[in-house]
Amino acid sequence: MKPKTLSTEVIWTTEVDRSILRKFFHNNSISKRYLTSVQIKKVLKNKQWENKTGINLRIYEPKTSLEKILYSRRSRRKINGKKITINEISKLLQFSVGITDKENGYFAYPSPGALYPCTLFLSLDLPGFNNVLYRYNPYQHKLEEYCYDSGQVAGNSIIDDELRKFPIKIFFTSDFQLLEDKYGELSYRLLNQEIGHIAQNLLLYAESLGINATCIGGFYEYEFQKKVPEYDLLYVMVVG
């Protein structure tokens, strides 16, 4: 009689889900309306700097257009009232987060492994754009009508009442899958670095257009996920 052999079928896997640590950190560091693990406290003292001997560098006055934009950039938390057109929104997205090298598929910002896992959603409280939450498609440079958003529910994620009044709200999201397959536990850090690159591009280009903008860390993710449950929300920017 032929002896029985062990089946080659895998009964279980010993490989750890590499997203566990990221999910734990993310889920325990989000703000909730009535209960939060994030305790925001008043800073009691300024940053202390221990001076050491070194090389004193020359301080320049800004002369080039880029230098002037970098020099004048501020987080402005009030709407400046300037009329914003679809053409300005198009430029803001194209030059800040769009594809700038079609031959190689490179974007306007650096990304880990050139994977570009961040996805932007936009809520536009402007004539002709009400009640729709848009997803930016950089591959076709297109605002996709992602879902109906009556009452701009997604915007309720912003904690600050004044910042919710801005006409353009940009939500930085990711599903992490692209990064985690390659970078595992390092993905959370890398994604936040990518989002920082994108945010700075948007801030600088908004400055060049004469439009106020500021980034927001205070938001309720679960309010945004009422409309977009498939993505994690990591950052918010308002423009106007």
What band does 48 get if pLDDT is binned at 50, 70 and 90?
Answer: confident
CA-based torsion, 151, 157, 160, 165: positive or negative: negative
Q: What is the pLDDT of residue 184?
A: 85
Q: What is the pLDDT of residue 187?
A: 87
Q: Tell the residue number behind the tokens 């605002």, with chain if given.
A: 143
Which pLDDT tens digit goes with each residue over 81-117?
A: 889 999 999 999 999 999 999 999 999 999 998 899 9
What band does 12 get if pLDDT is binned at 50, 70 and 90?
Answer: low
- Res 10 pLDDT > 70: no
What band does 50 get if pLDDT is binned at 50, 70 and 90?
Answer: confident
Mean per-residue pLDDT, 10-23: 66
CB 169 within 8 A of CB 223: no
Q: Tell me the residue ranges of DSSP E strands in 96-149.
A: 99-101, 106-107, 119-124, 132-137, 142-148
- Res 29 pLDDT > 90: no
Helix spans in the chain (H): 20-27, 65-72, 86-97, 177-183, 187-209, 221-224
CA angle 60-75-169, nearest 5°? 140
For the chain, domains (ranges, CATH) are: 91-214+223-240 (3.40.109.10)
Q: What is the pLDDT of residue 40?
A: 61
Instruction: Supply 217's token pair.
Output: 């860390």
Q: Distance (Å, rounded) from C-alpha 168 to C-alpha 122? A: 7
Q: What is the pLDDT of residue 158?
A: 94
Q: What is the pLDDT of residue 3?
A: 52
Lowest mean pLDDT among 34-48, 138-152, 170-184, 207-221: 34-48
Query: With 0-12 CB in 10 A as exposed, 13-18 as middle and 19+ as buried, what is 18?
Result: middle
CB 234 within 8 A of CB 173: yes
- Res 15 pLDDT > 70: no
